[in-house]
């Protein structure tokens, strides 16, 4: 499995990486899924592994997210931006594949998101008056090697366990 990682700066540029050499892997997943719903198999293997591999980015984003210690939580400010961070994974949809950051052969998306608001967008990208103080993009950029390593180990653990479960169901 070859990998290419393009880690351009995070001044509004996307961080891109591409993993290749998945033809045999894809065939193994297809063989394992025979007789079962493919989307269920993909959710229980690839989506689960992708989400697990992004946990380090999620925790890094929480650590990098701004927190105003001068204005702690109170009845008027019950949550902070880091409280709205979420880690999710899902199978791609045709609409997802229209996005410029999603490849046409993508099967699963795992992402760390924050509640979309003017404040979170200004924090990540800046405005004409406020400089960008990104926290999501650096969390991914600095953790990309960990994500790839964690994805490999998660797949190595999840797929055999799920294949065994499917084998028991076939009997």
pLDDT in tens, 88-100: 999 999 888 888 8
Does residue 59 or residue 118 have the better pLDDT?
59
**Looking at residue 78, what is its pLDDT?**
60
Q: Any idea which of 85-94, 95-104, 153-162 has the lowest mean pLDDT? A: 95-104
Kindly give the interhelix angle for 136-170 and 23-33, rounded to the nearest 10 degrees.
40
Distances (CA, A) of 168 to 30, 161, 163, 171: 17, 11, 9, 5
Residue pLDDT, tens place only, 9-19? 444 445 555 55
Q: What is the mean pLDDT of residues 149-162?
A: 92
Give the residue from 129, 165, 136 showing the smallest Cα distance to 41: 165
Task: Give me the pLDDT at residue 110, please.
Answer: 92
C-alpha closest to that of 64 among 138, 143, 147? 138
Mean pLDDT of 120-146: 89
Which 3 state secondary structure label does DSSP give 165?
helix
pTM: 0.78
């Amino acid at each position: 499995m070859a990998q290419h990682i393009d880690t351009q700066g995070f001044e509004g540029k996307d961080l891109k990486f591409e993993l290749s050499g998945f033809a045999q892997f894809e065939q193994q997943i297809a063989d394992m899924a025979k007789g079962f719903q493919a989307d269920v198999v993909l959710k229980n293997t690839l989506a689960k592994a992708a989400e697990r591999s992004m946990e380090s980015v999620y925790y890094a984003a929480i650590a990098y997210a701004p927190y105003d210690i001068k204005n702690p939580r109170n009845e008027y400010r019950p949550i902070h931006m880091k409280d709205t961070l979420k880690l999710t994974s899902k199978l791609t949809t045709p609409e997802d594949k229209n996005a410029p950051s999603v490849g046409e052969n993508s099967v699963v998306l795992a992402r760390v998101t924050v509640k979309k608001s003017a404040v979170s967008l200004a924090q990540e990208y800046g405005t004409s008056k406020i400089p960008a103080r990104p926290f999501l993009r650096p969390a991914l950029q600095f953790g990309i090697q960990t994500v790839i390593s964690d994805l490999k180990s998660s797949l190595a653990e999840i797929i055999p366990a799920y294949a065994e479960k499917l084998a028991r169901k076939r009997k």
